Amino acid sequence: MELSRFLHLTESVIAPFTLRCAAELKISDCIHAYERQAMPLKELARAIPIGPEKEPMLGQVMRLLVQQGVFAHSEEGYMLTPVSELMLSKGSDMGTYIYLVTAPENVNTFYKMGDWFKSSGVGTVYQMKHEGKSPWETTKENPFLSNLLNEAMASRSKKLMKDVVASCPQLFNGMKSLVDVGGGTGTTVKVIAETFPELRCTVFDLPHVISNVLKCDELFDAVGGNMFEKIPSADAVILKNVLHDWPDDDCIKILQKCRQAISPVEAGGKVIIIELTIDLETHDQDAIETTLYYDIKMMITFVAKERNRQEWHNVFQAAGYVNYKVHTVGLYSIYELFP
């Protein structure tokens, strides 16, 4: 029994690379374009296309992906599931997120975890692997990696924000302006602006990020700057997957800058935080493992972490936010903080 569990944990590293293979072969697009409900293996191999000698191996790949719920299978052939639909090019296109997670620059970092713990340095595991450079520095120097990061974050944000505005439209009631801090290329504010056209939205990020955004869309404004110095004024500020990059002290500083930027509570002023929350009491084992995987990723990349409900409460209180509400959308918690 112990050996079975050990082997499962060890060999599960194969899963993301098999998923990457499916993304590279555009299997979701092939099945989606097939005229019938289910696509036989032979037709899938022809559509990719691959040689007939590799068709049985493609079947092995599909068998694993079906077992994991990525695709469905019947006697007639293969079908999409809600998971594999996320990989459609004309859709969420989460294939780019798979490419980012399995990129050598990210995968190779994990090899340094043991060395980092045994070292006396104060940097991160990522910096140990990348000659002292942070992820922001390496992506800035590598246009391919920078574009991949932007595309991957955009694909994840698009799906997440569509779920958020559908499940919690009340978040955006009563406000006239919104700033997305650390908003990257603007995917989050674009989804919000399309849903609430009366809301004036601004994406705020580092100048070199914003330089790629300035002329990209008329739905929102783009402003470059440093969130530790000053955040543009607005009725509300949104922080999505930002605070988990930072230790508590820095999170408190960011949230204090947000308080200075937002309108009074009577005018609808608030901070909206969208982050994972560790909940070890849930019965959803996949949810627990996913948040803990992200927790390790934040540790090796930034010496930061995902937080449980009490840890979030402590950060909010230390930053001066006494009142807040919590909503849940899938894996994510949405915190409304009021000044």
32 catalytic, yes or no? no
For 297, residues 6+ apart whose C-beta sits below 8 A from its C-beta are: none
pLDDT category at 215 given cuts 50, 70, 90 is low
Nearest Cα neighbor of 183 from 307, 295, 274 is: 274
Phi, psi of 232 (to 5 degrees): -55, 145
What are the pLDDT digits (tens) for 256-300?
A: 999 999 999 888 899 999 999 999 999 999 999 999 999 999 999
- Residue 309: CA count within 13 A, CB half-sphere: 10
**Host H or E run for residue 57:** helix 55-67
**Which one is catalytic: 32, 130, 244, 327?**
244
Contact assessment for residue 189 and residue 223, using Cβ atoms and an 8 Å cutoff: no
Q: 98-338: CATH homologous superfamily?
A: Vaccinia Virus protein VP39 (3.40.50.150)
Residue-wise pLDDT for 125-178, tens only, equals 999 999 999 998 998 888 898 889 888 998 999 999 999 999 999 999 889 999
Cα separation, 263 vs 271, whole angstroms? 10
Q: How far apart are CA 129 and CA 114, in angstroms?
A: 12
Inform me whether the pLDDT recorded for 216 exceeds 60. no
- Ordered by start, the domain boundaries in the chain are 2-91, 98-338
Q: Give me the sign of the Cα torsion angle 135, 139, 140, 146.
A: negative
CATH 1.10.10.10 fits 2-91, yes or no: yes
pLDDT value at position 282? 92
